[in-house]
Amino acid sequence: MPSQRAHFAQHTVPVAAPADVVYGLLADSPRWPVLLPSYVHVERIDFDGTEESLRLWRLRHGQVCSSPVRRVLRAAERRITFELDGSPVSGAPTSGVWSVAPDGAGRCLVTLRHESPAGPGSTPEALESDVRAELTALCEAAGRWDRLDELLLSFEDSVHVSGSPELVYDFLYRVEDWADLVPHVERADVTEDRPGVQEAVLHTCEPDTGRTLVSECVRLCFPAAGRIVHKETLTPDPVASHYGEWYLEPGETGVRVVSVHHVMLRESAVESVLGEGALLVDARRHVRERLGRSSTEALGLARWHAESAVRRLR
């Protein structure tokens, strides 16, 4: 049998961060959606400390693509090999290697080698573009390494619902109806070309200022698991990236509904939004209050939707 043709690309870039920090970012796959723009969601299926199984959802050329990935992490060598299934060429997975090497005090060199089977829609130019884009995104994220504790924040809000989990999920899923149901949502345009993959443009009102904020997001819906994951692809300042999840925890007396947010701030936009002299701590408070208020309002309405339906059936 003739060998399968393949495309190769390899690039090395300098990164203004210590080698161990950059390796840590590459190894910590669940955090990629808030650090790297193209990743919508990363589900870690199995991990024994060295070998890891993932499912990745990411944006490629404006489309959400999903694929299983197997990785081997060699921390002592700062080296990660990966094999990505779901190739258009049967039996020929995409594979590659990340490697990180120190390059003086507080700097390193990162090399990404990618091998992709030649097939429909696969070209050397496309692979080159993908490799360069991955390295650029990593450089930008790693360049903030010494400020990530200030730039990143995570929090959650929750509510207990004495009603059907299916009704709660139905409310959270039907985001296209929120303009009629949720006071802070002025408009919601939603497309769902594939079941469970929603692309939404939301116009929301900021109560303190009255200004309209526009955000675009991808939502991945998992009804069997009672989860909806969302990643904003267009964020209002001072938010640089925003990744979150709605999930349901059924119990004996109802269901706990949780809204989780992971945010990275855009430091350069803090003063333009909050005024001269505003600091990152002010932006953290502002974003926590804004997103928390919005999610708490939606959670309360989800509870009303489920509990009022139960009362009507009695």
- pLDDT category, 314, cuts 50, 70, 90? very low
- The three-state DSSP-derived secondary structure of 65-128 is EEEEEEEEEEHHHCEEEEEECCCCCCCCCEEEEEEEEECCCCCEEEEEEEEEECCCCCCHHHHH
Please state, for a pLDDT cut of 70, what percent of the chain lies above it: 93
pLDDT tens digit sequence for 26-68: 999 999 999 999 999 999 999 999 999 999 999 988 899 999 9
- pLDDT, one tens digit per residue, over 193-206 is 999 999 999 999 98
pLDDT computed for residue 297 by the predictor: 96
Place 121 in a pLDDT band, splitting at 50, 70 and 90: low
Please check the confidence at residue 3 and state whether its pLDDT lies above 70: no
Least confident of 69-78, 156-165, 259-268, 301-310: 301-310
User: What band does 90 get if pLDDT is binned at 50, 70 and 90?
Assistant: very low
Which pLDDT score, from 0 to 100, does residue 86 have? 57
pTM of the model: 0.90
Which are the contacts of 104, defined by CB distance < 8 A and separation ≥ 6?
none
Dist. CA 224–CA 227, nearest whole Å: 8
**Percent share of the chain, pLDDT over 90:** 82
Preceding omega of 238 cis (within 30 degrees of 0): yes
